[in-house]
């Protein structure tokens, strides 16, 4: 299961009525938009978050993956798009309480990718049509959507009649949110397990900075984070680095990094007199594999805090 965010405006009601999302193959400038390429990746069982005027107003499950189809007549008068496009059949579940992105942006922002993010830094939506939604972002959106739309506490349940409780438990929206959460967590769990297994031997089962070898104290760190990686990059062991929990935390927050030669770089936010406390040595080089280099460079350019 993959998830996506679709940016809908005046066409939302018509597309919801038709049970579809639709995007042109080329834009009015004659160029192939990124959304068009992404539409082709949508498959049966995937999830779509529907964004309209600042809020996510619905979640849907894809019933039939991408297919070439002309612009439906019902949305023809709402857009100047070209007629040739891609269509996805999807079953909408509207939220009783929409998720306003601006109100919850502080919690959402850490999970947005650097490239192809559905939202800008000011919490407004970007101008494209379809965007990827990684599993971590999916879980955060589901958390807020459930909080706003599903009653879970004992106090809430006590205020309802038995029939009302049963109705809520059978609520199609609640079932879809729960199923989507379960599948997203499974994707992450399985991916991380496979990733760790392949990363461990590349670093001789120990942290290259401090030498810790106890499995329980080691973590397989992504140089290019999960939110920014493609499916292949997320599982590529050369996008990984085996570190103890302390050094992993420093690496994840960009307080340490490595260049293409494996040389350690330490953020100015860590005073030099504290290097020994964190078991850091300025200028130390770690043995790396050639395939680590592009990922190390990406981390230093995009994550490292100088």
User: Is 68 inside a domain boundary?
Assistant: yes
pLDDT in tens, the chain (306 residues): 999 999 998 889 999 999 999 998 887 777 777 888 899 999 999 999 999 999 999 999 999 999 999 888 877 665 556 788 999 999 999 999 999 999 999 999 999 999 999 999 999 999 889 999 999 999 999 999 999 998 544 445 445 454 544 444 457 888 899 999 999 999 999 999 999 999 999 999 999 999 999 999 999 999 999 999 999 999 999 999 999 999 999 999 999 999 999 999 999 999 999 999 999 998 899 999 999 999 999 999 999 998
Contact 24, 81 (CB under 8 A): yes
Placement of tokens 């769990």 in the chain:
189
User: Is 187 inside a domain boundary?
Assistant: no
CATH number at residue 82: 3.10.590
Picking from 105, 134, 163, the residue at the C-terminal end of a domain is 134
Say if residue 119 is in the same domain as residue 238: no
Instruction: Please give the pLDDT value at position 154.
Output: 41
Instruction: Please give the pLDDT value at position 79.
Output: 59
Instruction: Please give the pLDDT value at position 252.
Output: 96
Say if residue 16 is in the same domain as residue 109: yes
Backbone angles phi, psi at 95, to 5 degrees: -85, 140
Say if residue 121 is in the same domain as residue 236: no
User: Is 250 inside a domain boundary?
Assistant: yes
Tell me the two tokens of residue 44.
Answer: 């049966």
Quote the domain boundaries for residue 268. 204-302
Handedness of CA 273, 275, 281, 283 (dihedral sign): negative
Say if residue 221 is in the same domain as residue 127: no
Picking from 134, 149, 174, the residue at the C-terminal end of a domain is 134
Picking from 106, 134, 162, the residue at the C-terminal end of a domain is 134
Can you tell me whether residue 126 is helix, strand or coil? coil
| Domains of the chain: total | 2
Say if residue 24 is in the same domain as residue 128: yes
Instruction: Report angle CA 38, 299, 242 to the nearest 5 degrees.
Output: 105
Contact 238, 258 (CB under 8 A): no
User: Is 213 inside a domain boundary?
Assistant: yes
Instruction: Please give the pLDDT value at position 162.
Output: 46
Say if residue 10 is in the same domain as residue 118: yes
Instruction: Please give the pLDDT value at position 75.
Output: 76
């Amino acid at each position: 299961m993959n998830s996506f965010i679709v940016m809908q405006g005046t066409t939302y009601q018509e597309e919801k009525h038709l049970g579809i999302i639709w995007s042109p193959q080329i834009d009015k400038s004659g160029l192939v938009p990124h959304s068009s390429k992404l539409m082709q990746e949508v498959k049966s069982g995937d999830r779509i978050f529907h964004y309209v005027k600042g809020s996510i107003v619905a979640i849907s499950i894809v019933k039939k993956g991408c297919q070439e189809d002309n612009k439906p007549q019902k949305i023809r008068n709402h857009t100047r798009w070209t007629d040739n496009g891609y269509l996805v059949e999807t079953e909408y579940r509207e939220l009783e309480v929409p998720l306003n992105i601006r109100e919850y942006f502080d919690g959402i922002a850490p999970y947005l990718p650097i490239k192809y993010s559905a939202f800008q830094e000011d919490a407004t939506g970007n101008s494209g049509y379809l965007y990827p939604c990684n599993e971590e972002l999916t879980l955060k959106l589901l958390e807020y959507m459930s909080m706003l739309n599903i009653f879970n506490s004992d106090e809430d349940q006590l205020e309802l009649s038995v029939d009302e409780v049963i109705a809520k438990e059978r609520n199609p929206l609640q079932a879809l949110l729960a199923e989507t959460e379960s599948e997203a967590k499974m994707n992450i769990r399985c991916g991380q397990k496979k990733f760790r297994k392949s990363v461990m031997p590349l670093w001789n089962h120990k942290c290259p900075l401090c030498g810790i070898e106890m499995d329980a104290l080691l973590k397989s760190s992504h140089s290019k984070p999960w939110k920014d990686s493609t499916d292949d990059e997320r599982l590529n062991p050369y996008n990984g680095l085996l570190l103890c929990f302390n050094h992993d935390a420093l690496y994840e927050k960009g307080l340490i990094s490595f260049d293409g030669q494996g040389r350690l770089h330490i953020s100015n936010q860590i005073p030099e007199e504290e290097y020994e406390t964190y078991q850091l040595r300025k200028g130390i080089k770690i043995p790396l594999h050639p395939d680590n280099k592009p990922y190390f460079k990406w981390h230093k350019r995009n994550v490292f805090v100088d």
